[in-house]
Structure 1
Amino acid sequence: MSAGLPQHLTLDYLRALLSRGVEKAAVTEEARTVLRKWVMDARRIARGGPPSPVSVPPVSGETQPPEIPGQPPDSVDEVSFGNELRDILNGVQPGGTEEEAALPRHISFALEGETEEEKLSSLRELVVNWPPLRSMESLRDTPVFSSGSPRADIMMVTDAPGLYEEKQGIPLAGPSGQKLDAMLKAMGLSRTDIYLTHLVKYRPALPRQLTNNRPPTDREIEVSLPILREEIMLVRPKVVVALGAIAARGILQSGETPLSALRGTFHTAFDTPVRVTYNPSYLLRTEDISEKRKVWEDMLCVMEQAGLPISEKQRSYFLPKK
């Protein structure tokens, strides 16, 4: 990435990378210096100060400028640099001093109805006007709740709606949804046989947003998590499948643990077995058969956990030809 692009185009480019799950990208040293300046300007503005003058901080190993009494030093270590830059791209102001109150994970909802179906319908209506969600100006206005069977043995959770999902009103629409449909067909299932939902029920917003999407922030996930917990308690699936790193991070509260370290085994959340695998969008970006086999091995384990029959043909999918 070059430092010569206008700031808004550069940020849009980086947001597009984040929306595709890319969290690392090669940049020139000049571009890195400009990005570091943006992070420090955001810190200064959050403290009520002006942006920095023309000069920029030296890179690691060079002499730092003198500190201003009463203010934190204007330095950015590599970890903070990455985290704060991601916050800027996600629309979160870094360096603020006010802490948002933590939201309890075990909120009790007053849902109407006697059956699970009726209570899920009540939960769907609640999401439209639930104050903790609707008070977040970082989310758009059209909820995308869930699809499938409220009595399913398998529940799949993806991160948040994007453009296709917001337009069609269902989770995982567009090319990613087509890949999911193919994966379910290979399992002998369809969308009506599973319960599919989002971790965050509203599409995360961006300035001048048209087709571009972004992943949900930690705060958006925290506020949305009680809704997902209620869904799991009502559906009571035999297994939950976390589709992608963001869904896994929200359900398991696993912090920055990479997806590769989470998949390959069962975890437990909300008293339910959880299997972590790649989002179907990842399969659109790779032709590597070994990567597709990893996802399929996860699905075989999910089928076993749900008590579904597995044929020898299914077990051999994506294995090297003998």
Structure 2
Amino acid sequence: MLFNLEFDRGDIVEGYMIPDGFSETASIVVTKDDGTELFLPCIHERLAVKQSGRHETGLVGFVIDKTMIEDIESQSRLTIRDAKTGLLIYRRVADDVRNMKLLRLDMSIVPQPKLDSYCGELFQYAISAVERFGHETTLQAFHLNAVESIFISGRLFLRNYEEFLDKGFEVAASFSEPYYEMACRLLTLKGLSRGQITFLGDRDKLNLAPVAEHFSDVNLDDDRAIIQALKTGGDRVREGLSSPVTKQLVSTSLEQRVTRRDVAAAINLMSRFTIVGYGYHRHYQRSLSELLGVKEENIPISAIHPALEKLADRLRTFPVAETFIEEDLILDHYLREAIKRHT
């Protein structure tokens, strides 16, 4: 999906939204300050879009003016979203937004929606769980040229977007202990096999389907069952579980393998982050509050889940589990040492 605001003159707002489907009708929802909504089809042709083969009709442009919203000039938080997905296209800037571009890189398969919701309200433009929308939409969010206040969060393969670290984006990331993250993945994929997981996008569901299927009948309370499943999973299961943190930092896709030599590259990339947190320590919460200029207690941070911690403790005793996350364990060692020296 491609989208952008072309201009906001006060009495008229103009932009475009190109949907994913070639023949799909483009439409937006405009929300006023009082919460009332206005549904608008995109009826303005963009000839270049049609000629390039991006859309069948090229009817992807929108214009909002006084004929639609009489008091449009006084709408201080006028918001425009894609009608189908709810994706934010544009909202007017508030006086107290943070004039910065921040990527909160999600390093766990389990998202933090409360944290993203809170942080997103501090910025003019915000998009959370961006990996659900695909590479093209993610790139568009990074490329928004008319907005200086941007918050993006998601579980991205950062190599695909590393160039934006040189274009004003700061990065905040918090890392889990590797066995705890492995426990999160096993439990999530077990739930995915039962149709209980809603926070994964379609691409993740497709890519991780072989792992979910393999563990669908595995009793996670049975040590021998887990060990046997890890030993017999094959390449597709190993792809879905092997060193996800290192892979996320140095690879461009789930299928790309990582080796011990990639750990150095991962550490080098992390050195460019503005904030690096670990586990559920308050350091991450405190650093975010300082960066965003808010009270520390206002930053919602998830707590350790006892059931996941128990599963992680058991995984630490399985030699076969270690072979899946060797690179992450090495990275974790250096990360712990760096944080220990810093704090």
TM-score normalised by the chain length of structure 1 = 0.23
Judging by fraction of residues, say which structure has more strand.
2
